[in-house]
């Protein structure tokens, strides 16, 4: 393995770890009835949050995020196998 391949593999592994944590957090959240939860949004941490009416669609929103995160995780695993 070359130094470049090692660096690339290391970066992928770091991303996989972050994604795995995100997946576990999403699973934990989705085990709740989130349809009636409040949703707050803000452009970054230095701004105040704004309440957003998600019209009971937060569960679907979380499911979409979960699906996209799983897809990204699987793509990175395949990429790592090719190194």
The per-residue pLDDT for range 6-39, each reduced to its tens digit, is 999 999 999 999 999 999 999 999 999 999 999 9
Q: Single out the residue of 78, 64, 82 nearest to residue 16, CA to CA.
A: 78
Does 1 score more than 90 pLDDT?
A: no
Region 46-57: what's the mean pLDDT?
Answer: 97
Count of domains for the chain = 1
The pTM of the full predicted model, rounded to 2 decimals, is: 0.87
Assess contact for 83 and 8: CB atoms under 8 A. Answer: yes
Q: Give the pLDDT score at 57.
A: 97
**Domain hosting residue 46, numbered range:** 3-81
Which DSSP state fits 82?
T
Quote the mean pLDDT of the chain: 97
Helix (H) or strand (E) holding 4: helix 3-30
Query: From the CB of residue 31, how many other CB atoms can be counted at a distance below 10 Å?
Result: 8
């Amino acid at each position: 393995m070359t130094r470049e391949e090692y660096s690339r593999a290391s970066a992928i592994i770091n991303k996989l770890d972050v994604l795995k944590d995100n997946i576990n957090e999403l699973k934990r959240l989705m085990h709740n009835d989130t349809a009636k939860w409040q949703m707050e949004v803000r452009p970054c941490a230095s701004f105040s949050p704004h309440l957003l009416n998600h019209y009971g669609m937060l569960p679907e929103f979380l499911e979409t995020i979960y699906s996209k995160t799983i897809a990204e995780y699987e793509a990175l695993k395949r990429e790592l196998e090719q190194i």
